[in-house]
Amino acid sequence: MRFSVPHTTRSLSALILALPLLLGAAAASAAPHKPGHAKASRKATPAPTAKPKADTDSEFVNFAEWKQVGQFLDDIAAKHQFDRAELDALMAKVRYVDSAIQLMKPAPPGKPKNWQAYRARFVEPVRIDAGVKFWNDNAEALARAESVYGVPADIIVGIIGVETVYGRNTGRFRVLDALTTLAFSYPETPTRLARMEFFRGELESALLFARQGGVDPLSLLGSYAGAVGLPQFMPSSILKHAVDFDGDGRIDLRGSAGDAIGSVAHFLVQHGWQRDLARPFALPVAVSPGRAWEPFIGQGLEAKFRPDELLAAGVSSDTPLPGGRLFGLVDLQNGSEATEYWLGSANFFAITQYNRSYFYAMSVLDLGRAVQLARGM
């Protein structure tokens, strides 16, 4: 969720792909530590990345002449004491990115969701191999994040791997170009006005963070939606949740794997991660033909049902459901094949706050576990 051990073999990674999600013991926890003030004894090694080139699919549009842009600049200049002339000069260099608009358009209807196809994109040999190297290079920072925040290393590794392949794919769009385009020219959808408001907030946050970090905002590269760095934080999440975990006095989610690791863990804690919640965070279950369990599907991204409620509705497990915990019923559709059903704990749903998708959260769990197994073997 940014301005300024030996490597495993490919054949081993392929073997890991066939292994199911294993159930591990809960990670040992330590006393909480105030975020942003941890000092590393050894600075975490950044993921090796080539400097991304800016996207060239853009065109000049004089955004400063747009009435809504002018009103926006007036508002943030007054609210945050920006120099209005400097904002005008900056906006004169911002370009319109049509590909960001196209990528935001909804997918054509009719294509069924397919969990196994989605999983195969992320739990695969290249990502597993890169994850083993990332974990080995940053073992100290991962262990410290687990101690400070209570988030296991495999969860952090899973998120960074799914997001950017450990820094290999952090995006090539100028963040200001993408955010300005989406803030004022979002495609026609039922949620267009709300989405434009969201991206205006992100544009404001990007400008604030650039000023705080002393960074040229036009130097920021990210995704077509404006997400930045190894963990792909939106600018507002940078302001709220990013931490200086490598102790060098600044937050750098583009070049510091340590800052990325600590920031991911801090984000999860701020979104409901429970340090002492035992594994498994997701548990496979079966559902009865009577379908009394259907009302439990689609009830929000949270764990709120007791085991006895789920059992009474026809949800069953090969292992006893842990008492004293709440769950959500998760359906993973597989196209024309049978849907998989899982119970997600509070920590599963904390991951969905990073990306509001069951598929995403399950891929994080599976990739993190696959990397852990490959590294251990």
Residue listed under structure tokens 């989405």? 195
Give the other-Cβ count within 10 Å of 24's Cβ.
Answer: 14
Tokens standing for residue 144: 């410290």
Please classify residue 355 by burial: count the beta carbons closer than 10 Å to its beta carbon, then call 0-12 exposed, 13-18 middle and 19+ buried: middle
Q: Is 302 a catalytic residue?
A: no
For residue 160, what are the CA distances in angstroms to 122, 194, 269?
A: 11, 28, 16
Q: Given 59, 65, 146, 163, which residue is catalytic?
A: 163
User: Is the CB of residue 315 less than 8 Å from the CB of residue 331?
Assistant: no
> CA-CA distance, 349 to 355, in Å (whole number)?
10
For residue 233, what are the CA distances in angstroms to 43, 130, 254, 330?
A: 21, 21, 10, 25
DSSP 292: T
Tokens standing for residue 47: 């993921």
For every residue of 88-112, which 3-state class applies, written as one string? HHHHCCCEECHHHHHHHCCCCCCCC
Amino acid at 95: R
Give the other-Cβ count within 10 Å of 317's Cβ.
Answer: 16
β partners of residue 305: 327
Alpha helices in 10-104 (DSSP H): 10-17, 67-80, 84-91, 98-104
Percent of the chain that is helix, strand, coil (3-state, to 5)? 45, 10, 45
Catalytic positions, written as ranges? 163
